[in-house]
Amino acid sequence: MNDLTLMRKNLWRKPVRTTLLLISIMIAFLLFGVLVSFNVAITDVRTAPNRMVTLSKINFTESLPIAYYDRVLHTDGVLAATHMNWFGGYYQDPRRGFLAVFAVDPDSYLRVYRDDLHLTPQARETFLHERTALLVPRNIAERYGWRVGQHIPINSNIFTNGTNGGHVWDFTVAGIFETPDGNSQANSVLIRYDYFNDTITFGKDRIGWISFLTTSATVNDRVAHAIDARFANSQDETSTQDAAAFNRSFAAQLGNIALVVTLVVGAAFAAILLIVGTTMALAVRERTKEVGVLKTLGFSSGRVLRMVLGESMLLSLLGAALGLLAAAGVLYIFSRINGGGGGGGGLHLYPSVVGVSAAIALALGLVTGLLPALSAYRMNIIEALGRR
């Protein structure tokens, strides 16, 4: 019988207690896996290093005059530029989730994001020439069962349609596109700016922000300074930043997810630390005479220490594994329900989260098992066998 077998048998000598401990640890790692993966999904978005964004200096909810687009486009160091507006849309029922609908200029948008959208030539041509054309990522199309050529009504919770007095616009699906994994456009539903601008009742000839490519990432800072200096002291001052920073600020509108993760998971792990630590100390105390017998049989103090510490770490790792498996299942279900089935837009358990979880589990096992293990290490045979 080896040490691992002894640790396993000691761990399950009280099945109810061990099961409750595993459930406690599992819940903590379930919360950690889900919350951290969600935070990674909305903040770790891949984009070109030479892609920049110009928006209002106040915040991205403030619009800019459309004339700014031409000035940015002709700034020295700018290779290509496009403009975008947030539409704020949903399909049929807002309880089914919002859609990230953007009104874009088709021609310039497809130049700036040419490597981010995998479109068929027919879909590209339709989007360029049909005012009511709609481009949809595959995960969204699968979520709602949309197909190319289908007429789709999209509601806006911000704008009013001047042609019908309501909040509904009618579109036709021009194409369903794929995006690279983790791409910033993975969940973007695209409509044409000209159709949007002609039908809205307020905010005409205004744009949300300008996305552009520089000739090289090395000139990003110079171009950003030139653009912001050009509009300094105007009625609509600007802030220019790289696209990665813009995506993070956009995601921050959902709230400080990192703070939520820290508070919730920190509280869970603090509770688990106290519970497991106390239980392990109690378990070692219950086995005092057994420790004495083991040492009498020739088990060294170091070997006893390793067994007690290993038992604690085995419990922690097993609970973490169960928690991460549960987290993977929850994320998969949430992804399917919310249209994350493909195109890189789906939620999943990231390898980095698994790695961090393993490190936390090892640390948790070490911290909770160290004092009981040291107690067993210091215990002499006479004291152990004589204790009642």
Closest CA to 138 of 187, 180, 88: 187
Of 388 and 344, which is predicted with more confidence? 388
Question: Is 36 within a domain?
Answer: yes
pLDDT at 170 over 90: yes
Domain that holds residue 134: 63-235
Say yes or no: 325 and 382 in one domain.
Answer: yes
252, part of any domain: no
Q: At what angle do helices 351-378 and 257-286 cross, to 10 degrees?
A: 30
Q: Quote the pLDDT of residue 342.
A: 39
Is the pTM higher than 0.75?
A: no
Same domain, 322 and 173: no
Range 362-369 average pLDDT: 84
Around 215, how many Cα atoms within 13 Å sit in the side-chain half-sphere? 9
Q: Is the per-residue pLDDT at 116 higher than 60?
A: yes
Provide the number of structural domains found in the chain. 2
Residue 180 lies in a domain: yes
Confidence of residue 341 (pLDDT cuts 50, 70, 90): very low
- Are residues 102 and 218 located together in one domain of the fold? yes
Q: Are residues 24 and 170 in the same domain?
A: no
pLDDT value for 11: 75
Q: Among residues 235, 268, 301, which one ends one of the domains?
A: 235
- Over 70: is that where the pLDDT of 42 sits? no
- Per-residue pLDDT band for 164 (boundaries 50, 70, 90) equals confident
Confirm whether 240 is domain-assigned. no
CA 336-352-184 angle, to 5 degrees, is 55
Indicate if 117 and 188 belong to the same structural domain. Answer: yes
Residue 55 within any structural domain of the chain: no
Q: What is the DSSP letter of 2?
A: -
Q: What is the CA radius of gyration of the chain?
A: 29
Last residue of a domain, one of 235, 268, 303: 235
> Beta strand pairing status for 78-86 and 168-177?
unpaired
Q: Is there a domain that residue 250 lies in?
A: no
* Per-residue pLDDT at 133: 96
Higher-confidence residue of 387 and 237: namely 237
| 56 within domain boundaries | no
Rounded (10°) angle between helices 301-337 and 3-11: 60
106 and 31 in one domain?
no
Using alpha carbons, select from 52, 55, 50, 79 the residue that is nearest to residue 65: 55
Same domain flag for 75 and 38: no
**What does the pLDDT read at residue 343?**
37
38: left (phi over 0), alpha (psi -120 to 50) or beta: alpha
Q: Would the pLDDT of 346 be above 60? A: no
Do residues 134 and 275 both lie within one domain?
no
Q: Do 217 and 80 belong to one domain?
A: yes
Is the domain of 157 the same as that of 277?
no
Q: What is the dihedral of CA 116, 122, 124, 126, to 10 degrees?
A: -150
Q: What's the confidence (pLDDT) of residue 336?
A: 67
- What is the pLDDT of the chain when averaged over all its residues? 83
Location of structure tokens 């020439």: 129
- Of 9-18, 106-115, 306-315, which range is least confident? 9-18
Same domain, 298 and 200: no
- What percent of the chain has pLDDT above 90? 38
In a domain, 242, yes or no: no
Q: Is the pLDDT assigned to residue 19 strictly greater than 90? A: no
Structure tokens at 163: 């042609």
Is 337 in the same domain as 198? no
